[in-house]
Structure 1
Amino acid sequence: MKRFRRCILALGMLAAPAWAQLSVTVDTTRPGAAIHKDVYGQFAEHLGSGVYGGMWVGTSSKIPNVRGWRKDVMGALRDLHVPLVRWPGGCFADEYHWREGIGPRERRPVRVNTNWGGVEESNAVGTHEFFDLVEQIGADAYVNGNLGSGSVQEMSEWLEYMTSDSKSSLAQLRRKNGRDKPFKLAYFAVGNEAWGCGGQMRPEHYTNLYRNTAAFLKAPPHLKPGIIASGGTSNGEDTKWTDLLSKDAPEGTVGISFHHYTLPTGDWKRKGAATGFPEEEWISTLARTLEMENYIKRNVAVLDRNDPQKKIGLFVDEWGTWYDVEEGSNPGFLYQQNTLRDAVVAALNFNLFHAHAERVRMTNIAQMVNVLQAMILTDKDRMLLTPTYHAFRMYVPFQGAVSLAATVERDQPYVLGASSVPGLSVSAARARDGKVHVAMVNPHPREARQVDLQVIGQQASRAVGQVLTAEAMDAHNSFRQPQAVTPQPYRASASEGKLRLTLPAKSVLVVALEP
Structure 2
Amino acid sequence: MNTWKRLASTVLLAATTLLIPSTASGAPAAADVRADVDIRAGLATVGDTAVGVNHAIWDSQLGTPAVSGLLKDAGVRMLRYPGGSYADIYHWKDHTAPGGYVAPDTDFDTFMAGARATGAEPMIIANYGTGTAQEAADWVRYANVTKDYDATYWTIGNENYGNGHYGSAWEADDHADKSPKEYASTVVAYANAMKAVDPTIKVGAVLTMPGNWPDGIVGAGDAGTWNQEVLTRAGSVIDFVDVHWYPGGGTAAETLTKPAQIQDAVHLLQQQIQRYAGREIAISMTETNVEVGRNTQPGALFLADVYSGLLAQGVFTVQWWNVHNGLGTVSEVAGQTDYGDYGLLSSGNCNADNTVCQPPLNTPFAPYHALSLIGDFARGGDQFIGAGTNNSLVSAHAVRRPNGDVAVLLINKDPDAAHTVALNYHGFTPSAATPAVATFANGAAGVTTAPAGTAGAQTLSPYSISLITLRPERTDGVAPKAPGQPAATVTDRTATISWPATAGGGKYEVYQHNGGAAQLLGETTGTSLTVRNLEPGRRYTISAVARDGAGRLSPASPPLTFTTGTPANAACTVTFRDTNDWGNGYVGQIDITNNTPNAIGNWTLTFSWPTAWQSLNSGWNATWTQSDRTVRVTGDSPLAAGASTSAGFVGSYSGPNVLPTVFTLNGTVCTSA
When normalised by structure 2's length, the TM-score is: 0.56
1:148 matched to 2:129: yes
SS at match of 1:344: helix
Q: Deviations over 1:35-77 (max 9, x none)?
A: 2232311101234xxx21xx14xxxxxxxxxxxx433222212
1:260 matched to 2:245: yes
Q: 2:151 aligns with which of 185, 189, 192?
A: 185
- Please show how residues 1-400 of structure 1 align to structure 2 within 5 Å: 7=23, 11=25, 21-47=32-58, 51-52=59-60, 55-56=61-62, 69-101=63-95, 112-114=98-100, 120-121=101-102, 124-164=105-145, 171=146, 181-196=147-162, 197-199=171-173, 201-218=178-195, 224-233=200-209, 234-235=212-213, 237-238=215-216, 240-247=225-232, 249=234, 253-265=238-250, 281-288=251-258, 290-306=260-276, 309-310=279-280, 312-322=281-291, 338-357=295-314, 360-371=315-326, 372-379=341-348, 382-396=361-375, 397-400=377-380
Unaligned runs of 5+ in 1: 57-68, 102-109, 115-119, 165-170, 172-180, 266-280, 324-335, 413-421, 476-482
Unaligned runs of 5+ in 2: 1-18, 163-170, 218-224, 327-340, 350-359, 474-673
1:445 matched to 2:445: no
Residue in structure 2 matched with residue 459 of structure 1 by the alignment: 429
Q: Deviations over 1:423-479 (max 9, x none)?
A: 321111123454211111121112222222222233213432212222xxxx4xxxx
Decide whether the 8 Å contact of 1:400 with 1:432 is kept in 2: no
Higher-Rg structure is: 2
SS at match of 1:28: strand
Distance in 2 separating the partners of 1:337 and 1:74:
22
- The structural deviation recorded for 1:190 is 0.9
Residues 141 and 404 of structure 1: CA distance in aligned 2, closer, same or farther (over 3 Å): closer
Decide whether the 8 Å contact of 1:112 with 1:121 is kept in 2: no
- The structural deviation recorded for 1:314 is 2.1
Distance in 1 separating the partners of 2:215 and 2:102:
37
Residue in structure 2 matched with residue 489 of structure 1 by the alignment: 450
SS at match of 2:86: helix
Distance in 2 separating the partners of 1:441 and 1:74:
27
Decide whether the 8 Å contact of 1:261 with 1:321 is kept in 2: yes
Residues 456 and 294 of structure 1: CA distance in aligned 2, closer, same or farther (over 3 Å): closer
Residues 203 and 27 of structure 1: CA distance in aligned 2, closer, same or farther (over 3 Å): same
Distance in 1 separating the partners of 2:102 and 2:214:
34
Residue in structure 2 matched with residue 501 of structure 1 by the alignment: 458
Residues 264 and 32 of structure 1: CA distance in aligned 2, closer, same or farther (over 3 Å): closer
Decide whether the 8 Å contact of 1:92 with 1:113 is kept in 2: no
Q: Deviations over 1:332-355 (max 9, x none)?
A: xxxx96111111111110231133
Residue in structure 2 matched with residue 408 of structure 1 by the alignment: 388
1:235 maps to amino acid: W
- The structural deviation recorded for 1:403 is 3.0
| Alignment: residue pair count | 407
Distance in 1 separating the partners of 2:261 and 2:215:
11
Decide whether the 8 Å contact of 2:21 with 2:446 is kept in 1: no
Decide whether the 8 Å contact of 1:376 with 1:386 is kept in 2: yes
Distance in 2 separating the partners of 1:210 and 1:339:
38
Residues 313 and 5 of structure 1: CA distance in aligned 2, closer, same or farther (over 3 Å): closer
Distance in 1 separating the partners of 2:41 and 2:68:
38
Distance in 2 separating the partners of 1:398 and 1:338:
22
- The structural deviation recorded for 1:513 is 0.9
Q: Which has the higher contact order (CA 8 A, sep 6+)?
A: 1
Structure number having the greater helix percentage = 1
1:98 maps to amino acid: W
Instruction: Give percent identity, aligned residues only.
Output: 20
Which 10-residue stretch deviates more, 441-450 or 246-255?
246-255
- The structural deviation recorded for 1:229 is 0.3
SS at match of 1:384: coil
Decide whether the 8 Å contact of 1:467 with 1:490 is kept in 2: no
SS at match of 2:429: coil
Q: Deviations over 1:75-105 (max 9, x none)?
A: 212211210100002110111111113xxxx
Distance in 1 separating the partners of 2:227 and 2:373:
33
- The structural deviation recorded for 1:145 is 0.5
- The structural deviation recorded for 1:395 is 1.8
- The structural deviation recorded for 1:309 is 4.8
Distance in 1 separating the partners of 2:378 and 2:144:
31
